[in-house]
Copies of this chain bind each other. A is one copy, B any other.
Amino acid sequence: VERPRRQGMAKNTYMRWRLPLVCLLWEVAMIVLFGVFVRFGAEADAHWEEEKREMNLTSDIENDFYFRYPSFQDVHVMIFVGFGFLMTFLKRYGFGAVGFNFLLAAFGIQWALLMQGWFHSFKDGKIFIGVENLINADFCVGSVCIAFGAILGKTSPIQLLVMTLFQVTLFSVNEYILLNLLHVKDAGGSMTIHTFGAYFGLTVTRVLYRPNLEQSKDKQGSVYHSDLFAMIGTLYLWMYWPSFNSAISDHGDAQHRSAINTYCSLAACVLTTMAFSSMLQKKGKLDMVHIQNATLAGGVAVGTSAEMMLTPYGSLIVGSISGIVSTVGYVYFTPFLESRLHIQDTCGIHNLHAMPGLIGGIVGAITAAAATEDVYGKEG
């Protein structure tokens, strides 16, 4: 019985040996590098009892695990279900989207634990990891999932693995320069994750440009149910974005504030997206592409400033603007990118990640500049 379900992965006829070899060799490399470098951080190590006594902690609940694990799981869902299903809207590429996203993310988090570990958690020749490292690895892979959105349907799994290797490396270098050398604050990663990921992906898709792709566009359309699957991705990204932006903020009020700001920004973004989607379409219909994507721009745009004293109404303003910018981008900018610059942006990541990420950087700079001792208290 010829089962149609493998069709999404059908083109990769010659990868019989290449994919297994790459996967196995790279996994062996991971094992060796983890063996040499990676150890449990103090809060995950069996010596934690001693550590606790030294730090005068009275309770196990002070372990960072309890501050961050629920947020980590939300971020985890965003990477694997959120990004994976968001890209299932193509009628012929549902498995490719979910399956390849699964593969690249599973490799990416291992390589990211190493790369980010060398830059940020390296001590006495070892990388010490805890739940915050897992979150950061997921973040880093998030930027790869974003880039994947631009080239969706055009690449083999091996190409994706190679891209992941390069992008995670570059991500970590870029992050190190921004956070450690330039001392930029970017807890929600508007710039480090979203803008970086988007421009990386757009560069790759420009390189892979194929002029005759247009002919295969009927394969690229969506069907009713593939669009509903994509809504699963959209909603999980939308709902858990407050966890994304607050996951690595400081304990206490900063995490609390990040979640509230993101919640407000996203709510406002939905209304302006629907408004402009209806306004810019013939007959005022709503376009599912906008609902699936532009509604999320508010989370991207508030990433940098979410943990700052942006205030709830500030978040509504940021969210409103980013929903408008993103929707307008889908209607006017994506066709322009394709026809003039030969950049085929399958999922429209320029509208969802690049532009809102830039807005996020600007808003973060303004909010930080507007910070006064009065607003933050003398300890802030």
B268 touches A110 (CB 8 A): yes
Q: Tell me, yes or no, whether A12 is within 8 Å of chain B by CB.
A: yes
Q: Tell me, yes or no, whether A332 is within 8 Å of chain B by CB.
A: no
Contact of A253 among B46, B217, B251, B379 (CB under 8 A): B46
Nearest chain-B residue to A220 (Cβ)? B1
Interface size on A, residues (CB 8 A): 137
A317 touches B31 (CB 8 A): yes
Q: Tell me, yes or no, whether A264 is within 8 Å of chain B by CB.
A: yes
Interface flags for A8-46 (1: CB within 8 Å of B; 0: not) read 011011111101110110110011001100111001111
A138 to chain B, nearest CB (A): 10
Q: Tell me, yes or no, whether A118 is within 8 Å of chain B by CB.
A: no
Nearest chain-B residue to A106 (Cβ)? B270
A45 touches B228 (CB 8 A): no
A5 touches B224 (CB 8 A): yes
Within A40-65, the residues touching B (CB, 8 Å) are: 40, 43-50, 52, 58-65
A107 touches B271 (CB 8 A): yes
A136 to chain B, nearest CB (A): 13
Provide the bound-state CA to CA distance between A77 and B255, in Å. 20
A58 to chain B, nearest CB (A): 8
Provide the bound-state CA to CA distance between A162 and B281, in Å. 23
Within A238-266, the residues touching B (CB, 8 Å) are: 238-240, 242-243, 251-253, 255-257, 259-260, 263-264, 266
A6 touches B264 (CB 8 A): no
B102 touches A291 (CB 8 A): yes
A214 to chain B, nearest CB (A): 12
Provide the bound-state CA to CA distance between A74 and B223, in Å. 30
Nearest chain-B residue to A102 (Cβ)? B270
A284 touches B98 (CB 8 A): no
Nearest chain-B residue to A240 (Cβ)? B73
Interface flags for A112-135 (1: CB within 8 Å of B; 0: not) read 010000000000000001110010
List 5 interface pairs A-B (beta carbons < 8 Å), by A numbering: A23-B274, A69-B259, A80-B235, A95-B228, A129-B312
Q: Which residues of A contact B (CB under 8 A)?
A: 1, 3-7, 9-10, 12-17, 19-21, 23-24, 26-27, 30-31, 34-35, 38-40, 43-50, 52, 58-67, 69-71, 73-74, 76-77, 80-81, 84-85, 88, 94-95, 98-99, 102-103, 106-107, 109-110, 113, 129-131, 134, 157, 217-218, 221-225, 227-229, 231-232, 235-236, 238-240, 242-243, 251-253, 255-257, 259-260, 263-264, 266-272, 274-276, 278-279, 281, 283-288, 291, 295, 309, 311-313, 316-317, 320, 375-377, 379-380
